[in-house]
Structure 1
Amino acid sequence: MTGAIKTFHELPEARQGSVPWRPRGEGRPGEVPLVGMVRNPRSHRNKGREAEDPAAAEVIVETTHKRKELAGVLDRFARQGIDFLAVDGGDGTVRDVLTSGAAIFGDNWPPLIVLPKGKTNALAADLGLPGDWNLAHAIEHARAGSFATRRSLVVADATHPEARVHGFLLGAGLFTRATSLGQSAHRLGAFNALAVAVTALWTLGQAVFAGRRNIWRRSTPMRLADEQGQPIAGEETERYLLLASTLENFPMGMKPFGSAREGLKLAVLDRARRKSLLRVPLIAVGRTPSDPEKLGFHWLSPGSFRFAIEDRFILDGEAFPPGDYWVFQGPELRLVAP
């Protein structure tokens, strides 16, 4: 079971906006809100369907077919003074909007409405969005002041910091191979939490029962360091699995970062020893071992970290090239949530 992952050949550089954003409805309570919607027609649940248009809001729908269109769309939204920015697509669409909008909105983003139409929708799971969540529900909750706060995870080229991408879930090593497997799960009809479960179980089975030279047991050349350049999570030059995220809740109640919830979190497994792999199901539900470093596990909550990797890494479902990167938190975002 393998599948293709879309791959970026380089990190994008965001374009500066023309004016600072200020909401049209500021200081005018009760006015019908203006919603700027970025719609991805290629997202799984958008194919063959029209955009939502609830009576409770004035909606400007911009259907984008290429990432390079997003900067112009978001700049127009800023000039029009939207009250809410809706993203009608999957996790990858959210990533592209945050990346393209970073130079336009800076630290002052409009409240975000996520309409999860992708195949996995990890951000929607984090926010606790129900299966029937739509724009009308979001407007209703926004009027009631129901918001969650998150910060994006930013990956910047260490040698060219202007090249950067914003997302929420970064993975490398085994995670990259498992993401290819996840594409196959989608083709078999597994989506959202079910896709996560199928992929996790298949990956774990491959890793536990494969031979030492099998691809599922292979580590990836990777170095981790803090802001001062000092190694973190040990001094290994190869790692089996790396996860980093600013999400707080994960599908099926999994707890890959142990008890840590807020902010930037990092989880690392050094080697694919069966003794360590057999502990993964317990760790996934929050039962961390008493001697994690002996088993090669590391959990950290760094303010930022640097990683140099010789293979692709995954950010919100798509692959990015090998390189030397800084990882840190982006601006505070307000997201409409139940």
Structure 2
Amino acid sequence: MATPIYEFSQLPSVQAYRPSNGRGRPVRAPGVAPKVGVIYNPRSHRNKGADFDCGVCPHVLIAQPGNRAQLPEALAELAARGIDLLVINGGDGTVRDVLTCGHGIFGDDWPAIAVLPKGKTNALTVDLGIPAEWNLQDAIDAFEIGIRIHRRPIEVAAPDTANANVLGFILGAGAFATATQAGQSAHRLGAFNGLAVGATALWALAQSVFASRSNKWRRGARMNIMLGRGEAPMAHSGLGDPEYRQLLFASTLERLPAGINPFGKLRKGLKLVAVDQISRRTTALVPGVITGHFTKKLRERGIHQLSASQFTLDIDDQFILDGEAFPAGRYLIGQGPELEFVVP
């Protein structure tokens, strides 16, 4: 469902698919099988060349939208059928697109959600503890006997574009965007999920240690980060150019692939880490920082770990949300609706 760059102005409109009344989903009677809706992305990495079993059982409704423009109609049909469980069969990008298009349809009345890890990257399922071999029947069984985990996705709003909000779980800019491009190379070499994250992180570290500040890995991107509703400017260590940050990384996930933990002791809600144009010596300490073994004087060294209810990002370069590039501009970044995920 991906395009080369995610333009807010080209998001499919959900106005025509909004529910005409405020009635919630019908209450399921005891002993009645749950209604299950599946969004299946045939282009997801682990779905390629595999046919999806569309005859699982009559209470399972399967939609295979060919692109983003078809997603609102597919989701509206599932919503009209009163599904109890929405199964997203795909990777992080598919999850982002489904949540983005479904936000205007389900509002605050989302069904329970299950995610099958079928993409090149599946950071959300790592956080939720979903096994790699999880399938549709496992998700249906877990709806009845599994547990539920609540997460709120990041919500990115473009102030100049009405009703154009995007929901996802991992946002990054500066060297993170450069690393994402390197990660695509890792995918082409056959490295996926935690392996790809680890390989990309090691490459980024090596580039940052040995490169000069004119190198794209250490230069980062010109950006202004303003915290909270009052848009208080984020502090800067004074290292390097104060108009630049070498890296910005934000997420609402509580556990990341490859054991990476850039947020220190922060766990809940919207968390971010911003890195100034730090010295090579501090760069060499980064592995210890993201594994929690080095915590001394991080702000003085140019590494800022904090949580926020929301922040405004004014950036002159692209940023990345769940693996896809978004254009430069000014954005309000907060948290979307609380979603209930079904896990084993």
Give the TM-score range, shorter chain. Answer: over 0.9
Matches of 2:60 and 2:116 in 1, distance apart? 14
Confirm or deny: 8 A CA contact 1:56 1:139 kept in the other structure.
no
Matches of 1:221 and 1:62 in 2, distance apart? 41
Matches of 1:146 and 1:52 in 2, distance apart? 25
Whether 2:287 is the aligned partner of 1:281: answer yes
Whether 2:172 is the aligned partner of 1:174: answer no
Specify whether residues 56 and 337 from structure 1 end up closer, same or farther in structure 2 by C-alpha distance, changes over 3 A only: farther
Root-mean-square deviation (CA), in Å? 1.9
Q: Secondary structure at the match of 2:337?
A: strand
Partner of 1:249: 255
**1:132-151 to 2 correspondences below 5 Å:** 132-151=133-152
C-alpha displacement of 1:212: 3.1
Partner of 2:199: 198
Partner of 1:8: 6
Confirm or deny: 8 A CA contact 1:37 1:86 kept in the other structure.
yes
Confirm or deny: 8 A CA contact 2:317 2:328 kept in the other structure.
yes
C-alpha displacement of 1:160: 3.2
Q: Secondary structure at the match of 1:114?
A: strand
**1:16-55 to 2 correspondences below 5 Å:** 16=15, 17-19=18-20, 20=22, 22-24=24-26, 26-52=27-53, 55=56
Q: Which moved more, 1:29-38 or 1:45-54?
A: 45-54
Matches of 1:87 and 1:153 in 2, distance apart? 18
Q: Which of 240, 251, 270 pairs up with 2:276?
A: 270
Matches of 1:197 and 1:321 in 2, distance apart? 26
Q: Which of 209, 226, 231 pairs up with 1:229?
A: 231
Q: Which moved more, 1:138-147 or 1:254-263?
A: 138-147
Confirm or deny: 8 A CA contact 1:32 1:57 kept in the other structure.
no
Matches of 2:3 and 2:201 in 1, distance apart? 17
C-alpha displacement of 1:161: 4.8
Could you give the per-residue CA deviations for residues 21-55 of structure 1, whole angstroms, max 9, x where no partner exists? 7445x241221111111111111011111224585
Matches of 2:343 and 2:247 in 1, distance apart? 31
Amino acid at match of 1:212: R
Matches of 1:145 and 1:125 in 2, distance apart? 17
Confirm or deny: 8 A CA contact 1:33 1:57 kept in the other structure.
no
Matches of 2:289 and 2:54 in 1, distance apart? 43
Amino acid at match of 1:239: R
Structure 2 segments unaligned to the other structure (5+ residues): none
Whether 2:101 is the aligned partner of 1:100: answer yes
Matches of 2:213 and 2:231 in 1, distance apart? 32
Whether 2:339 is the aligned partner of 1:333: answer yes
- Report sequence identity in percent: 47
Partner of 2:121: 120
C-alpha displacement of 1:58: 2.0
Amino acid at match of 2:71: L
Specify whether residues 22 and 204 from structure 1 end up closer, same or farther in structure 2 by C-alpha distance, changes over 3 A only: same
Matches of 1:169 and 1:57 in 2, distance apart? 36
Structure 1 segments unaligned to the other structure (5+ residues): none
Could you give the per-residue CA deviations for residues 93-123 of structure 1, whole angstroms, max 9, x where no partner exists? 1000010011111111110010111001100
C-alpha displacement of 1:195: 0.6
Amino acid at match of 2:118: K
Matches of 1:156 and 1:233 in 2, distance apart? 23
Partner of 2:312: 306
Q: Secondary structure at the match of 2:165?
A: strand
**TM-score for both structures, normalised by structure 1:** 0.94
Matches of 2:184 and 2:23 in 1, distance apart? 37
Q: Secondary structure at the match of 1:108?
A: coil
C-alpha displacement of 1:272: 3.7
Partner of 1:290: 296
Matches of 2:255 and 2:301 in 1, distance apart? 25
Confirm or deny: 8 A CA contact 1:57 1:139 kept in the other structure.
no
**TM-score for both structures, normalised by structure 2:** 0.92
Alignment coverage as a number of residue pairs:
334
Matches of 1:57 and 1:258 in 2, distance apart? 47
Could you give the per-residue CA deviations for residues 177-230 of structure 1, whole angstroms, max 9, x where no partner exists? 000000000000001111111111111111111233222221211001122132
Confirm or deny: 8 A CA contact 1:91 1:316 kept in the other structure.
yes
